[in-house]
Amino acid sequence: MASTEIPVPDPNPLVGTTESNEGDIGASSEDRAEPVANTSPLGTPVKDKEVTIQSDEASLKQLHEKIASLEQQLDAEKKLHVKTQNTLDLTRKEWKQVAHELSKRLSDTKPSHIVTDDYLKDLVEALRYDIRCFSEKYFEDLSPQPWPQLSGGRKGTLVLPEKYAQCPASPALAQSFIWRVLEKRVFNRYQWPANDEVGQGLYKLSKSLSPSKHAVLLWTHYTECTHSCKAVSNPGEGENISEYETLRKFHIWRATTANMVFHAEDPEEVQKSWGELAESLMEKRINPITSKIISSSEDERYRKLLIEVIEKALIIDREISRQVAWIRWSFEDLEYHPETVESGIPINQDCLQVITAPALIKRGKSSGEGFGEQLELLAADSSVVVNLSPLGDYSRDEGDSFSI
C-alpha cells in the first residue's frame, strides 16, 4: 500500500518572502513599484513649495530693487526741484532788482528839478533890480543924445527897435538894451555849461529837435493874455491835444539832458567859463555901444557890476534849462500893441513907451504837466520916455555896422 505524505507548514513564512524579494533585486524599474512621494500636511508637494518660495523671494528682491531705484529717482527729483526752486527764487530776486532799477531809471528820466513860480520870479526880479541900478548909475543925467543904433546888420539884428531912435540915451534905454543882449546871447542858448562845445551842441540839437511849428502856434496864444499871473491859454475846441504832448515830450528831453550836463559839471570850471563869457559879452556886444555914450566902460566898478548881471542871467538860464516848463521872454506890450513884437508904443507926439524888461511867460509845469495852460509870471516893465524931436534934431551915428 502506498504511503501518503502530508505537507508540513513552513514555520517561518517571512523567510521565503525575503528570499523571494531578494530574488527580485535584479528586476527592472518597470517591474518595481513606484515609491510614494512626501507631502506636506496640506497636501502640497514640498518641492513645489520650495520653488514657489524661491520665486516669491526673487520677486520680493526685484520689488525692493525697484523701490530702491524709485527712491533714488525721487531723491534726484527732489534735488532737481530744490535746485529749480533756488534758480526760480534767484530769478525772481534778479527780476525784482531789474524792475527796481528800471523803475529808478524811469523815475530818473522824469523831471527831477522842480522850479516854483515864486522862486523863478524872485530870481528875475533880482536881475531886473540889478540892471535898473546899473543903468541908473551910469546912464542918468546924460546930455540929450540918441542911443547908438548902429546900422549895417541883417534884418532883425538891430539891438533896439527902430522907434526907440526917437528916444534920448537914458537909464530906460540902457535897461532895454542890456535885457535884449541877454535875451539874444544868453537866454535859451546854453551858455551856462563850462564846456563850450557841449553848450553849442546842446543849443544846435535843441534847436533842431524843437517842435517849432507847434511852438509858434501855441506861442501866438500869448496875444490873449493880460498883465496878470493867470491862465492865458487853454486847449480849445478843435485844438489838437497831440501838439501839447509833442511839446511836453520835447521839453522833458531838454530838461533831462540839461540836468545830466549840470551834474557832470565842475563848479570851478563853470565859474571860470562864466567869467570868460562875461568878458566876451562886454567886449563884443555891450561896450561897443555904451562907450559911445559914457566914458565909464573902462571903470572897474562898471565892469564888476556888469559881470554880476551877466552871471545872474546865466544862473536864471540854467535853472530854466533844467526844469520842464517852457519859459519864454517877450518884449511885447500887449496892453497897447498886441500885434507888434519889439516895437515902441507911442503915447503921444512927445513921449514913447519903452519896454525896459521883458515879460516872463510860462507854458506847462516843472513836473511835466499842464502844457495846455500858459501863464504870464511877470509882466513886462516899461517906462515913458520923452522923444528927442521936441528937444531938437540930433543926428545918429550910422557909420559902423553892429550885429547883436
pLDDT per residue over 131-145, tens digit each? 999 999 999 988 888
pLDDT of residue 225: 43
pLDDT of residue 281: 94
Instruction: Report the phi/psi class of residue 275: left, alpha or beta, with left for phi > 0 and alpha for psi in -120 to 50.
Output: alpha
Q: Would you say the C-alpha torsion 110, 113, 118, 124 has a positive or negative sign?
A: negative
Q: pLDDT band at 226, cuts 50/70/90?
A: very low
Place of cell 524579494: 21
Strands of the 351-357 sheet, one edge to the other: 345-346, 351-357, 381-386
pTM of the model: 0.66
pLDDT of residue 100: 75
Q: Which has the higher per-residue pLDDT, 281 or 390?
A: 281
Percent of the chain with pLDDT over 90: 39
pLDDT of residue 17: 44
pLDDT of residue 162: 82
User: Is 396's pLDDT higher than 50?
Assistant: no
Q: Which has the higher per-residue pLDDT, 2 or 295?
A: 295
Q: Which has the higher per-residue pLDDT, 358 or 353?
A: 358
pLDDT in tens, 270-313: 999 999 999 999 999 999 999 888 887 668 899 999 999 999 99
Instruction: Report the phi/psi class of residue 183: left, alpha or beta, with left for phi > 0 and alpha for psi in -120 to 50.
Output: alpha
The top-scoring range by mean pLDDT among 34-38, 67-71, 270-274, 367-371 is: 270-274
User: Is 113's pLDDT higher than 60?
Assistant: yes
Q: pLDDT band at 236, cuts 50/70/90?
A: very low
